Chains A and B, each alone.
Chain A
Amino acid sequence: MKATGMVRFMLSLMLLAGLIGVTVWMTSIGSVFPDRAFPRTMPPQRLLKEFSIHIRLVTVAELLAIGIGLPIGLILTRRPIPILTNLLEALVNVGQTLPTLCFIFLFSALLGLGIKSVIIALTVYTVLPIVRNTCAGIKSIDPAVREAALGMGMSYLQIFRQIELPVALPTIMAGIRTSTVLNVGSAAVAGYLGVGGFGAIIAEGIAYGGIIQIVLQGAAPTAALAITLDLALGTVERVLTPRGIKVAKAAIAVA
């Protein structure tokens, strides 16, 4: 088990190094030989600019979604208004089946192209896995444990802070991780809509007649960003898991 852990780590590092290497290589074609007419690739400044836009889109949408999704998830598990709860649950289930892109396209058609509709679309889609995982995390708590806590005289706030939150936290983190990875990919597609980000570079490469070097300048760093965030948040998830309930489980990210 330990051995494959090392191999896994090395493999993902190699993949990351490869992707970043490809990016640097393709960028150097343009900047080391600036006189060469073709292929002229994007300068490093452009790459940095698109990187900062991309990361900002993902961060803003993710933070908004956490801010909205966590309270909704918590309310759903409390069931204050059954009809509302059922409705929201149905909405979350259906939304999960819909392709991410539908959201972006629909919102940009309804609200107009632009950064606002892209962020709204990303947020709406990101909220769903967070709500679902918050619910799943809190519902997974054995009712006997809650009984025991009540019997020990714990208040509802104490149960929430000392039992529900720690037990549900890894699952919630898994939702945040999945949705972040999804967000990186969706933000790339949004780049196509004139918002910027790595998607814009891919779009330009394809628009110039499929210049592979430029396409790779956009594609390789997007993949590298997604894999890095997945690894980093996976580590956070493992750290946050209380030692008593550490179980080997496969995290699923659907991009």
Chain B
Amino acid sequence: MFQDVWVWTSRHWSYIGELILQHLRIVLIANGIGIVVGILLGIYISGKGRENLADLVIYLTGILLTIPSLAMYGILMAVLGAIGLPRVGFVPVVVALILYGLLPIVRNTYTAIIEVDPAVIEAGLGMGMSYWQLLTKIKLPLAIPVIMAGVRQAVVMNVGIATIGAYIGAEGLGQLIFIGIQNPGRMGNVFVVVGAVFVALLALVSDRILGLLEYLTTPRGVRTGRQP
């Protein structure tokens, strides 16, 4: 079994590499959009007098996360089909991943901005900073490590969920797993194991890389001396 896996892997490096790139493309595009939407939403709901809205938005993004991925794909097939977008393949998977990634990013952006020491903001106001300056010079730099932690969580999670996208015809490592499941037997098992192992590796590696990024984006004064 393990020998089969090793032999097959060593003979098909380029194919596996291609699948990994396809997988990464889906995850990166989805999370790229998710980060922009999530951070903007997080900043918006952290404004004055929007506590109730913030509570609801975070609750709703939490509900989105409880919806199982397969069910999400099924529901998106119906919704996207109704508004004339492609029902299978790349688009529904990217939309699902954006929705799943929202909670960690929105929640972390919101809590990070809310928890900036009010004294620091007072000081900024006293120096005559505008709202925009307060946001870009004080709140966001202080919030970035926490936001990055949310992004890390979202990306690692989405690497796994993107695998199931193969059910509805998306590219990526999930393809390999599904070919394996449709062809039970020795070769099929090899496919499943190779696919699963590389998805796991991808998740672990992206966790590490984003952990490093989280450390690097922490302003030097805020670092607690903990290295990833």
**Which positions in A face B, CB cutoff 8 Å?**
1, 3-4, 7-8, 11-12, 15, 94, 97-102, 105-106, 108-110, 113, 181, 184-186, 188-189, 192-193, 198-199, 202-203, 205-206, 210, 212, 215-216, 218-220, 222-223, 226-227, 230, 250-255
Per-residue A-contact encoding for B184-222, CB less than 8 Å = 1, 0 else: 100011001101110110011001000000000000000
Interface of A is mostly: helix
A185, closest chain B residue (CB): B68
Which residues of chain A are within 8 angstroms of B120 by Cβ–Cβ distance? none
Chain B residues within 8 Å of chain A by Cβ, number = 55
- CB-defined A-B contacts under 8 Å, sample of 14: A97-B203, A98-B160, A99-B203, A108-B192, A186-B68, A188-B71, A189-B68, A189-B69, A202-B167, A206-B168, A212-B77, A212-B81, A219-B73, A223-B67
Interface of B is mostly: helix
Which residues of chain A are within 8 angstroms of B200 by Cβ–Cβ distance? 98-99, 102
Asked if B146 CB lies within 8 Å of chain A CBs, one says: no
Q: A99-B203, A105-B181 are in contact. Are A223 and B71 (CB under 8 A)?
A: yes
**Which positions in B face A, CB cutoff 8 Å?**
1, 52, 55-56, 58-60, 62-63, 65-75, 77-78, 81, 87-88, 100, 103-104, 107, 153, 156-157, 159-161, 163-164, 167-168, 177, 180-181, 184, 188-189, 192-193, 195-197, 199-200, 203-204, 207
Among B74, B177, B195, point to the contact of A219 (Cβ < 8 A). Answer: B74
Among B71, B195, B204, point to the contact of A97 (Cβ < 8 A). Answer: B204
Which residues of chain A are within 8 angstroms of B184 by Cβ–Cβ distance? 113
